[in-house]
Amino acid sequence: MLFDTHAHMDDDRFDPDRDEMIKRCFEEGVSLILNAGSNMATSVKSIGLADKYDGIYASVGVHPHDASTMDEASIEVLANLAAHKKVKAIGEIGLDYYYDYSPRDIQKKRFIQQIDLARQLKLPIIVHDRDSHQDVMDIFKNTGVKSVGGVLHSFSGSVEMARECLKLGLYLSISGPVTFSNAKKTVEVVREVPLDMLLIETDSPYLTPVPNRGKRNYPAYVRFVAEKVAEIKGITFEEVAQKTMENGKRLFSIE
Ligand code: NI
């Protein structure tokens, strides 16, 4: 059974058939999904999905794209949402210097505030990092992220960065792009990182793996990520499924 540790089933693209697609995931080998919030509205929707389905858990947090929508009251709102028993992480939070939808100083401020919130609430963080590796690593070190714990979702850094993250006790999550023909760097990362520090995810509806690239992604496609990880590491699919399930449950404190 598979654990898709990062999906957005609340996304508008699932409005026509959300319940049907979720049901299909559970029929097709996925037993757990962590639905990640990315702003206040999607954090609330994530909790709604977790309430509706046993196999869905939620995270709450504000993505760097939406960092400029936060104000001083936002942290308290997130803290209240996080009190729900199926909220298992703060995220997704981080930096995105590819799109720069929010000014970088605001992105950094809100990222740091949400790491502090996670520490207070004793929840791990789910980190989004796009073209912002250096600043993310600096913030990890300055905020003492080692005592918070968490995962770099859809990890896109180098082997060197992966090693730095492992030293900080952080997990690395692998997504659809590992199946792309130009995925050399991520393939190297998978080869290097110990299996007990790897998670797998889809980031549905984004980042659809080969052979379905171009179509809408959904959590059942996490099996293509698991197959690729098994191939790179030279182990069985079942071992990848079992280990990444254990890792996800450990990180997110799921029984
Ligand atoms: Ni995401």
Q: By C-alpha distance, which of 202, 180, 181, 198 is closest to 189?
A: 198
- At residue 251, the pLDDT reads 98
Q: Across residues 160-185, what is the average pLDDT?
A: 97
Cis peptide before 20 (omega within 30 of 0): no
| R_g of the chain computed on alpha carbons | 17
Summarize pLDDT for 13-50 with one digit per residue, the tens: 999 999 999 999 999 999 999 999 999 999 999 999 99
How many folded domains does the chain comprise?
1
In this structure, what CATH number is given to the domain that contains residue 147? Answer: 3.20.20.140
Q: How far is the CA of 102 from the centre of ligand 1 (A)?
A: 17
Q: How far is the CA of 93 from the centre of ligand 1 (A)?
A: 9
Q: 220: Cβ–Cβ under 8 A, 6 or more apart, which residues? A: 24, 25, 28, 29, 30
The half-sphere exposure of 181 on its side-chain side, counting CA atoms within 13 A, is 1
Summarize pLDDT for 64-107 with one digit per residue, the tens: 999 999 998 999 999 999 999 999 999 999 999 999 999 999 99
Residues 22 and 24: their CA atoms lie apart, in Å, by 5
Q: How far is the CA of 55 from the centre of ligand 1 (A)?
A: 18
Residues 181 and 167: their CA atoms lie apart, in Å, by 29
Q: How far is the CA of 167 from the centre of ligand 1 (A)?
A: 24
The pLDDT-based confidence of 235 (bands split at 50, 70, 90) is very high
Q: How far is the CA of 91 from the centre of ligand 1 (A)?
A: 9
Summarize pLDDT for 110-138 with one digit per residue, the tens: 999 999 999 999 999 999 999 999 999 99
Contact 176, 8 (CB under 8 A): no
Q: Across residues 219-238, what is the average pLDDT?
A: 98
Contact 118, 125 (CB under 8 A): yes
Q: How far is the CA of 48 from the centre of ligand 1 (A)?
A: 17
Residues 90 and 81: their CA atoms lie apart, in Å, by 10
Q: By C-alpha distance, which of 165, 183, 164, 77 is closest to 125?
A: 165
Each residue of 5-31: b (16+ CB within 10 Å) or e? bbbbbbbebbeeebeebbeebbeeebe
- Please, which residues bridge with residue 204 across strands? 7
Q: Any idea what DSSP says for residue 54?
A: T
Q: Which domain holds residue 146?
A: 2-251
Q: How far is the CA of 7 from the centre of ligand 1 (A)?
A: 6
Q: How far is the CA of 13 from the centre of ligand 1 (A)?
A: 14
Give the mean pLDDT of the chain.
Answer: 97
Q: How far is the CA of 126 from the centre of ligand 1 (A)?
A: 9
Q: How far is the CA of 76 from the centre of ligand 1 (A)?
A: 22
